[in-house]
């Protein structure tokens, strides 16, 4: 994308605390967004001017036909005028088709650009953005709001340009025929302008409210229709409550739709009545002047026909103002997302991770999770105001080093900061102070692409897409062939299972991989990691939720994944890290002990306490029935 266009999309000259940008600011950003398409827009405007000229020519010719009939001109004159009117009608229809094609293609191209810009921008947002945002609300921005913005270009644009030109030309011709009748006809013009301003604001407010309710309804469907959400609803037996809640949200959307339709109908009907009154005024005054001999009969007919060409564009433009206000709301909601700056950006001179084995170093790292105002919007969280918490330091002066090819384990109580350490290495977040280094280079000086290629992560709930086994594996290595896929499955101890499935690699795993067992999902994520071939591996509680049999299979697969790689293993179960080259004990965001398994046990400190708790030989207390 052109950098000026991106800046226009990204930067709003409004106070970040203000929810809605002024319409003029949003309009300027839209204009800058459309700037690369200015050549086609120029052709569109030129053709619209020609079309407006043809539209004005027909009433003038109709008046001359009447004058020819009244004056008993030769039949050839009337026939010629009629033929010219027919030719103009055909030309006007053909020109309308071309301008419609132009406006539609411009609109579709602009929306494609807007949609991909928003999608790319969202992908650059930090993980904190996704942990706070309701997925359905975000999808609504990319779906409903982008479609609303699309109508501004594909429908409203063509109407506004054509109607403005038609209005100007019609007014000029009417003044030339009879300025007295034209001035009287324009007396009712304020009746058009005032309702347009009032109704436009009202409909824009309704549109914004409706968009919010639509987003909330979409968010509820997205959450409840996912496998975990549906399971939770069924387990707690609340389908009736869920149905009532959804019906209430849908009812609010319906009510707003009815109110919007009624306000729009009243507005258009009032303008139609005013147009009819103006037409009666032209016939009355013009007819009187024609009888008095100061105006030709054909001129009266031309004025009456031109009046329809005058008030019809006025009516359309008044309605277009409503449509423009509605579209501005859609654009504003999209720009809200674009105005959230990504917290993780590449340095201008970012470089790749050097080749060979990679060391990992944390150098006096301090870190606190970002506040909601830095990464989220209240409208995306479906709350009135954002949570003010955040920025509290959770890692305090953390320093350690993992040499190339070494396995370092991180253990400690729940909430001690183990997973936070794991998330800083692949640069899901940036440190507040200190540095995280790969091969001796600060990750903030490395390109995101090379960091992703260097660091592979397996979490305790490895995510799979609702797609085939093949597609989920190729996500890590798009160029891999079937032989490489099967080799990765073999090393992950899944070859036999996949080979036994009816569709093999083309078996669909279901949403989040729920058609597979927990151990199978984990081994599939390990196979994906093996295909990616990272030089640094982070295992974050990779076996935390597995039974003993599945854990043994996953541990065997992990042995393949860690071979000749630098590894950071975050674990709660100490049995999984006994053979680590070094163990770090983390408590309250600090490293309180470091050493090997045997040395830490002999020291009798926090690690020894954790070990005694997990491997106590004491018989478990009997369970008492409540």
The reported pLDDT for the residue numbered 40 is: 83
The answer, yes or no, to whether residue 342 has pLDDT greater than 50, is: yes
Cα separation, 491 vs 505, whole angstroms: 15
User: In angstroms, rounded to a whole number, what is the distance separating the alpha carbons of residues 543 and 524?
Assistant: 13
Over the Cα atoms of the chain, what is R_g? 35
464 has a pLDDT exceeding 50: yes
User: Which residue ranges form the domains of the chain, and what is each CATH number?
Assistant: 3-338 (1.20.1560.10), 360-614 (3.40.50.300)
Task: Specify whether the CB–CB gap between 569 and 536 falls below 8 A.
Answer: no
| DSSP codes of every residue in 70-133 | HTT--HHHHHHHHHHHHHHHHHHHHHHHHHHHHHHHHHHHHHHHHHHHHHHHHHTS-HHHHHHS
Mean per-residue pLDDT for 517-525?
Answer: 81
Q: Is the dihedral of CA 546, 549, 552, 554 positive or negative?
A: negative
Residue 10: pLDDT band (50, 70, 90) is very low
Residue 328 in this model has a pLDDT that exceeds 90: no
**pLDDT in the model for residue 623:** 35
- Which of 299-303, 373-377, 558-562 comes out lowest in average pLDDT? 558-562
pLDDT tens profile 388-402: 666 688 999 999 999
Distance of CA 315 to the CA centre of its chain: 34
Taking Cα atoms as reference points, which of 231, 33, 183 lies closest to residue 114?
33
pLDDT of residue 584 exceeding 90 = yes
Is the pLDDT score of 523 beyond 90? no
Tell me the torsion sign for CA atoms 233, 237, 238, 243: positive
CA angle 518/522/523 to nearest 5° reads 120
CB 541 within 8 A of CB 459: yes
Contact by Cβ (8 Å): 174, 306: yes
Scanning 339-439, the segments in alpha helix (DSSP H) are 372-375, 378-381, 418-424
Check: CB of residue 255 under 8 Å from CB of residue 170. Answer: no
The alpha carbon dihedral of 531, 537, 541, 547 has a sign of positive
- SS3 of 249, please? helix
Rounded distance between C-alpha atoms, residue 295 and residue 202, angstroms: 44
Q: Per-residue pLDDT tens for 142-194? A: 777 777 776 666 666 666 777 787 788 888 888 888 777 777 777 766 666 56
Looking at residue 437, what is its pLDDT? 94
Q: Are 471 and 509 in contact (CB under 8 A)?
A: no
Average pLDDT, the chain: 77
**Most confident listed range (165-169, 445-449, 465-469):** 445-449
Q: Which residue has the higher pLDDT, 232 or 451?
A: 451
Pairing of strands 536-540, 455-459: parallel
- Report residue 8: phi and psi, to 5°: -65, -35
Alpha carbon distance 86, 201 (integer Å): 42
Is residue 491 within 8 Å of 483, Cβ to Cβ? no
pLDDT at 72: 64
Query: 235 falls in which pLDDT band (50, 70, 90)?
Result: low
Secondary structure class of 592 (helix, strand, coil) = strand
pLDDT at site 3: 37
In percent, the amount of the chain with pLDDT more than 70 equals 80
Distance between CA 584 and CA 593 in Å, rounded? 6
Nearest by Cα to 218 from 283, 134, 280: 134
Q: Where are the alpha helices (DSSP H) in 378-532?
A: 378-381, 418-424, 448-454, 469-474, 482-491, 495-499, 518-532
Q: How confident is the model at residue 196 (pLDDT cuts 50, 70, 90)?
A: low
**Residue-wise pLDDT tens digits, 472-501:** 888 888 888 989 999 888 888 888 888 888
8 A C-beta contact, residue 380 and residue 339:
no
Q: Are 336 and 129 in contact (CB under 8 A)?
A: no
Cα-to-chain-centroid distance, residue 518: 31
Q: Which residues contact 388 (CB under 8 A, 6 or more apart)?
A: 371, 372, 373
| Residue (of 318, 330, 326) closest to 202 by Cα position | 326
**pLDDT value of position 400:** 93
- What span, in angstroms and rounded, lies between the C-alpha atoms of 13 and 15? 7
């Amino acid at each position: 994308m052109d950098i000026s266009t991106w800046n226009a999309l990204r930067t709003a000259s409004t106070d970040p605390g203000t929810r809605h940008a002024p319409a003029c600011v949003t309009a300027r950003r839209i204009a800058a967004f459309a700037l690369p398409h200015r050549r086609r827009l120029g052709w569109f405007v030129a053709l619209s001017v020609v079309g407006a000229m043809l539209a004005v020519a027909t009433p003038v010719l109709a008046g001359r036909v009447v004058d020819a009939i009244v004056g008993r001109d030769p039949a050839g004159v009337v026939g010629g005028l009629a033929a010219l009117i027919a030719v103009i009608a055909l030309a006007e229809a053909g020109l309308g088709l071309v301008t419609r094609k132009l406006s539609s293609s411009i609109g579709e191209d602009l929306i494609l650009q807007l949609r991909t810009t928003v999608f790319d921008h969202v992908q650059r947002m930090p993980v904190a953005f996704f942990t706070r945002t309701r997925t359905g609300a975000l999808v609504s921005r990319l779906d409903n709001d982008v479609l609303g913005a699309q109508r501004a270009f594909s429908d409203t644009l063509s109407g506004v340009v054509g109607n403005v030109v038609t209005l100007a030309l019609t007014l000029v011709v009417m003044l030339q025929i009879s300025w007295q009748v034209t001035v009287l006809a324009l007396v009712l013009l304020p009746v058009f302008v005032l309702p347009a301003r009032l109704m436009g604001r009202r409909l824009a407010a309704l549109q914004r409210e409706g968009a919010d309710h639509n987003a909330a309804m979409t968010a509820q469907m997205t959450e409840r229709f996912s496998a975990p959400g549906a399971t939770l609803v069924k387990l707690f037996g609340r389908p009736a409550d869920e149905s009532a809640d959804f019906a209430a949200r849908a009812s609010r959307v319906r009510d707003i739709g009815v109110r919007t339709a009624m306000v729009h109908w009243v507005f258009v009907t009032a303008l139609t009545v005013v147009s009819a009154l103006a037409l009666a005024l032209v016939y009355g005054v013009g007819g009187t002047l024609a009888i008095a001999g100061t105006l030709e009969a054909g001129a009266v007919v031309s004025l009456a026909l031109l009046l329809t060409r005058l008030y019809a564009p006025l009516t359309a433009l008044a309605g277009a103002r409503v449509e423009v206000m509605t579209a501005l709301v859609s654009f504003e909601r999209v720009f809200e997302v674009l105005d959230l700056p990504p917290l993780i950006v590449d340095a201008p001179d970012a470089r790749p991770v050097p080749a060979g084995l990679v060391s990992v170093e944390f150098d006096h790292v301090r870190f606190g999770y970002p506040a909601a105002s830095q990464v989220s919007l209240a409208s995306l969280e479906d709350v009135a105001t954002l949570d003010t918490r955040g920025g509290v330091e959770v890692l305090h002066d953390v320093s350690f080093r993992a040499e190339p090819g070494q396995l370092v384990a991180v253990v400690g109580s729940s909430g001690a900061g183990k997973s936070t350490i794991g998330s800083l290495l692949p640069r899901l977040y940036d440190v507040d102070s200190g540095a995280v280094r790969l091969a001796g280079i600060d990750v903030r000086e490395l390109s995101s692409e090379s960091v992703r290629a260097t660091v592979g992560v397996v979490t305790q709930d490895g995510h799979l897409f609702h797609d085939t086994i093949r597609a989920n594996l190729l996500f890590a290595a798009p160029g891999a062939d079937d032989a490489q896929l099967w080799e990765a499955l073999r090393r992950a101890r899944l070859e036999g299972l996949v080979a036994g499935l009816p569709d093999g690699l083309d078996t669909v795993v279901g949403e989040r991989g729920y058609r597979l067992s927990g151990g199978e999902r984990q081994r599939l994520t390990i196979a994906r990691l093996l295909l990616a071939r990272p030089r640094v591996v982070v295992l974050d509680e990779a076996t935390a939720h597995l039974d003993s049999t599945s854990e043994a299979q996953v541990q065997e697969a992990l042995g393949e994944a860690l071979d000749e790689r630098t590894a950071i293993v975050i674990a709660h179960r100490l049995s999984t890290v006994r053979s680590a080259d070094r163990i770090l004990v983390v408590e309250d965001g600090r490293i309180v002990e470091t050493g090997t398994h045997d040395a830490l046990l002999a020291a009798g400190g926090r690690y020894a306490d954790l070990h005694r708790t997990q491997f106590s030989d004491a018989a478990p207390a009997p369970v008492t029935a409540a």
